[in-house]
Chain A
Amino acid sequence: METPVRILSVKDLVIRFNLRGKTLTAIREASLDLYKGESLAIVGESGSGKSVFTKSFMGLLDKNGWVDSGSICYKGEDLARYKTEKDWLRVRGKEIAMVFQDPMTSLNPLKTVGKQVQEAIELHQGLKGETAKRAVMEIFTDVGISNPEKRYKQYPFEFSGGMRQRVVIAIAIACRPEVLICDEPTTALDVTIQAQILQLLKSLQDKYNLTIIYITHDLGVVAHVADRVAVMYGGDIIEIGTSEEIFFDPQHPYTWALLSSLPQLGIKGERLYTIHGTPPNLFKEIKGDAFAPRNPKALKIDFEQRPPYFEVSKTHKAKTWLLDPRAPKAERPKSIEAIRAQWGCYNE
């Protein structure tokens, strides 16, 4: 890759929610740099804050949530300071667009598909009437919807799930964004369609020079599309690196656990690895390493002090005391080594 240009830079972001009078900290001082043209995957279990984290880039947090501190720098502006709708309208769609998880419910059931895409085009490309309509047809062709003339006039209920996801992607693309956030774009689709949609996103990325953030808990998707992977746990990015680094040389015990529980790595006849315990209670203040209570081999310091980032390589860093020079040598689970053996052959 040529010298990467930083397009989005999140620093020490804290996001809190007010739930029935209690305050919940969903994102705890998470930092992230996003480079132009790359695909970054954010993985983590449900409730780790993946969605909330990215929604904050577009001001789409639920009404009871707010950015407490930290900054989100995009093109010289701090999005974390945006308060009014007017501010956000400069970013939403135009700069950062989003593809949502469930295509069955993401489209307005009472508007023709064409009109819904056209809405985005009229909003962001300044086209009107016939020209806008023609632009819709073009985008339909781009996202692989055949027979656009006919499809333009149809309603979402006349589309299959995969086709609807193409429409949702068309809407996002129609905004001509720099950054595209795909929030579990394939979770609701069946496996054959998943691959098609990922392929489509890849080709659109090349054509429109997009930077894509994939949010997913499907590590198969990650291996398929991502240049870099960020692993989230308890509202923080605990490890980040290139796909190879995360899959073949993971450092954080949580990443180990996550990879070990991949069904693909299970040995026939043996129980699949599971992570014990439950995700941290976000209402309470988390002391030390958030994963420590679920980590059978946690060190004493894991419960006392929060680990900083330790750099493994220029692109790879992790928040775990295991990387501290003073830490005892920890044995990585065997199954992790198996990944290289299993996937290495056809990934490289």
Chain B
Amino acid sequence: MLKYSLKRLLQSALTLFIVVTVVFLLMRLMPEEGYFGSGFEKLDEVQKENILRSMGLRDPLHIQLKNFYSKLLHGDLGTSIIYRPKVPVSVILKSKVPYSLWLGLASISASLACGITLGILMTQYKGKLWDKIGTAYIVVINAVPAAVYYLFIQLYTTSWFKLPILFSVDRPISWILPVASMSLGSMAGYAMWMRRYMVDELNKDYIRLARAKGLKNRSVMVKHVMRNAFVPMAQYLPTSILLTIGGSLYIEYLYSIPGMGGLLIDAIQRQDNPLVQALVLIYSSISILGLFLGDLLMALCDPRIKLEHQGGSR
């Protein structure tokens, strides 16, 4: 187990390193206007050259890379230039991340709880009413573009249930709609996969044996079917969780939540290179961490994975 985890950890670190380096190098190809902040039209060539030199951007590439990494290791993500001039990126993020984080966490707990319950219900009443309702729900959610039902929810439920239309931190009631909207999609996903994996397990021979043993239907469901259905789920859970925490661009925009959802696009459009670099770093670490955790979780659930030479069935 330890060997497996270490190996996966090293692989993840290597991936992260490659991604960050590639992005760093690509950033060097971006137009240089982004480094001068507002009013760069007034600068002449010499001044521009001086600014770039003082930022270390005229150093050879490997020196720049080294400087970047040594700063990074000290927790310095750089300073924003245009988005909020002269403010460290970490400060900008600090004010935005909590909203996305809490919103994401709330929506994950809601969608996980509801999605998995729905999946289990659908399996238990396979082919009956619950299953059909669930399937209809999943199909609708997947077929209708999210933007449509997000808008629908915002427009109608606010008037039907007298819920606030915009988000404000100190009114917990204003959290309901964004969280609900964010959960709908992933809930459908969880329900669909849970049902699928459970039905897969149900048709396996060992379930027959468990029944023949004299186990109650309930125990068979809980101890054998559900537990085993979690294994394939486990692999994708962390990634989907972390990406939700990364913020939903559209939801944050709709309810004007000051989260980090729109930040990356904003930063790219305005050529705020240090901010872009920092955000890409964060997003890629999030998804790599997610994959890593997924692998770990799966290894925890499935004893077959620990022995490397035995693998190959997956």
- Chain A residues proximal to chain B, CB less than 8 Å: 58, 60, 85, 89, 92-94, 97-98, 100, 102, 105-112, 119-120, 123-124, 155, 157, 168, 171-172, 175
Contacts and interface: CB of A to CB of B under 8 A. Distances in A.
A107 B204 CA distance: 9
B214 A120 contact: yes
Given A105-B204, A108-B224, A123 B214 contact: yes
* Binding site secondary structure of chain B: helix
Contacts of B302: 109-110
Interface stretch (B164-172, B205-213, B268-276): B205-213
B304 interface: yes
B205 A100 contact: yes
A107 B206 contact: yes
Contacts of B211: 60, 92
* Binding site secondary structure of chain A: loop
Nearest to A92: B214
A85 B216 CA distance: 8
Interface of B: 204-206, 208-217, 223-224, 227-228, 231, 301-304, 310
Given A110-B303, A157-B303, A97 B208 contact: no
A119 B231 CA distance: 21
Nearest to A62: B208
Contacts of A94: 214
A119 B304 contact: no
8 contacts: A85-B217, A89-B214, A93-B213, A102-B205, A109-B302, A110-B227, A157-B303, A157-B304
Nearest to A85: B217
- The 5 residue pairs across chains A and B that have the minimum distance between CB atoms: A93-B214, A92-B214, A105-B205, A98-B212, A155-B303
B301 to A, nearest CB: 7
Contact of B208 (A93, A100, A119, A157): A100
A107 B213 contact: no
A89 B214 CA distance: 6
A110 B204 CA distance: 13
Given A85-B217, A108-B206, A110-B228, A93 B304 contact: no
A184 to B, nearest CB: 12
A123 B215 contact: yes
A157 B310 contact: yes
B252 to A, nearest CB: 40
Contacts of B223: 119
Contacts of A102: 205
Contacts of A58: 212
Given A108-B224, A155-B303, A92 B210 contact: no
Contacts of A109: 206, 228, 302, 304
A110 B210 CA distance: 13
A303 B96 CA distance: 85
A208 to B, nearest CB: 16
